[in-house]
Amino acid sequence: MSRTNFKEKVFAMVRRIPCGKVETYGGIAERIGHPGAARAVGNALHENTDGVRTPCHRVVSGQGRLAPMYVFGGTAEQKRRLIAEGVEVNGIRVDLKKYLWKDPSDE
Partner DNA sequence: AAGTTGACGACGA
Partner DNA sequence: CTCGTCGCCAACT
Write the CB contacts of 34 (distance below 8 Å, at least 6 apart in sequence): 2, 6, 40, 41
Residue 22's DSSP bridge partners are: 100
CA separation for the pair 77, 103 (Å, rounded): 26
Q: Computed from CA positions of residues 30, 102, 95, 87, in that sequence, does the dihedral angle turn out positive or negative?
A: positive
- Smallest gap from Cβ 65 to DNA, in A, equals 7
Residue closer to DNA by CB (options 31, 34) is 34
* Catalytic site residue from 56, 66, 82, 96: 56
Catalytic annotation on 19?
no
Residues near DNA (CB under 7 A) are 2-4, 6-7, 24-26, 34, 36-48, 51, 56-57, 59, 61-63, 67-72, 78
Whole-number minimum distance, CB 91 to DNA, in Å?
8
Catalytic residues: 56
